[in-house]
Amino acid sequence: MVVNRPPLHRPTDGRSQQPLLKDDHHRRSRTSFGNGDAEGRPMLHESRRPTIRSKSPEHDAAQATRKKYMVASGFLLLSLISFVVQTETASYIQNELGWKKPYCMLYMTHGSWSLLWLVQLGILRLQKRKLSWDAFWRRHVSLIRTTAQMVESREVHLSTRASNRSPVRYMLKTTAFVTTALTVAGGSWYVAVNMTTASDLTAIYNCSAFFAYAFSIPLLNEKLRFDKVFSVAVATIGVMVVAYGDRPDKKASKGEETAEDRVAQNRLLGNVVIGIGSILYGLYEVLYKRFACPPEGISPGRGTIFANTFGSLIGVFTLLVLWIPLPFLHWTGWETFEWPTGEAAWMLLISVGANATFSGSFLVLISLTSPVLSSVAALLTIFLVALVDWFRTGDPLSMASIIGGVLIMVAFFMLSFSTYREMNEERKKHLEDDEVESDSDA
């Protein structure tokens, strides 16, 4: 008996190509993400990372660098405004109100950095107020810890060994030597202010941009580029023009001594002191970038949070350790300790707050860009302070101030373009190696 079996080949009337369900075709197309094989099944090796090469590395690098520059620009603007406020209030306190306590002011201003983390924590809490406090705190501590581990290991993607190592000892050691360099550099300004002329003080101390670039070559593996060298040189020339241009002839009458004559005998020593301070300030910026900033490839948000956290560590170290010279200065009579009162106290509070804002913004700026660009950007404050003095006192800007300010601004924009290109190339390299963190991770 022969049993009639259906043929093994499929019918050719076209019904085999019709979907069993009406939306089957649409369901398959949604599942395949447009990367399916001939039968509509999703390609596993494609669906795992569907957007890894959705755009070219050049485009991704440009977008990431542009975003980082936008964040850095905001902090640059904040740092410039806060520095002008700090400079004007500090000058008013010392010259108009007569409260001249240089080291005490240095101790208070640097100690105020300890508040940076608390203020930042409050802002972050407002942004994440829908999270419970426990979840928010665990996430914040984890971010700080893992970023510190990235700083120590110089790895964006932590290895098992790096993730299991505590970063506390490394961060304490780094805080100690970075803060020491900063304090000696800042203290040299106060020591030299009564030993040399204001022109020498301004010109020499602001040469720290040159020293920052010099230290960046061995410590940060910066390449010696003509455009950067030229930009730093133009900025330095601009500072010299502001400091020494249009100097009024202050001729004293017979038997009378000018202020320039009074400091002449100590001028060489004062210039040496402020020169050492300028070198140390450039070194401080590079040391901070090398040993306390996360590696290239992290998100701007994570870099900003960690920069302010490290600024708070500097402030805490200042409060706990750098009070020691205060009793010594008081007993020797070099600087008698005295609390400010009345208007001096309120103005000092404003100056200290402005300094903390400037310092936090400046640390973020270095972290997101480079010490060289940040140093040249800080030179813009020379021209801004001159403008504010013009509006405040009515004394018009001198031709030297205008020319020097223009040179500094030109140098800043040239260096910004050069740094932007370098950051773009570095970001592209990390994107190709998949060593870039998304903003959601921060």
Tens digit of each residue's pLDDT, the chain (442 residues): 444 444 444 444 444 444 444 444 444 444 443 333 333 333 333 334 444 444 566 666 667 677 877 888 889 899 889 988 888 888 788 878 888 888 898 899 999 999 999 999 999 999 999 999 999 999 999 999 999 999 999 988 899 998 999 999 999 999 999 999 898 888 887 778 667 776 677 778 878 888 998 899 899 888 888 888 898 889 888 888 887 776 554 444 444 555 555 554 577 888 888 889 889 999 999 999 999 999 888 888 999 999 999 999 999 999 999 999 999 989 998 888 888 888 999 999 999 999 999 999 999 999 988 888 888 888 888 778 778 878 877 778 888 888 888 888 898 888 888 887 877 777 666 665 555 555 554 5
Contacting residues for 78 by C-beta, under 8 A, at least 6 apart: 357, 358, 361
Q: What is the pLDDT of residue 283?
A: 92
Q: What is the pLDDT of residue 56?
A: 63
Q: What is the pLDDT of residue 54?
A: 47
Q: What is the pLDDT of residue 178?
A: 93
Q: What is the pLDDT of residue 438?
A: 52
**What is the CA angle 275-279-282, rounded to 5?**
140
Contacting residues for 245 by C-beta, under 8 A, at least 6 apart: 398, 399, 400, 401, 403, 404
Q: What is the pLDDT of residue 25?
A: 44
* Cβ–Cβ < 8 Å for 211, 279: yes
Mutual angle of helices 300-321 and 57-91, in 10-degree steps: 30
* Cβ–Cβ < 8 Å for 380, 412: yes
CA distance 296 to 437: 10
Query: Can you give the pTM of this predicted structure?
Result: 0.76
* Residue whose tokens read 């010279």: 325
* Cβ–Cβ < 8 Å for 354, 115: no
Q: What is the pLDDT of residue 8?
A: 43
Contacting residues for 199 by C-beta, under 8 A, at least 6 apart: 243, 244, 247
* Cβ–Cβ < 8 Å for 368, 300: yes
Residue of 139, 162, 60, 74 whose CA lies nearest to 436: 60
CA distance 31 to 427: 33
Q: What is the pLDDT of residue 335?
A: 87
Q: How far is the CA of 174 from the CAs of 112, 254, 293, in angstroms?
A: 19, 56, 11
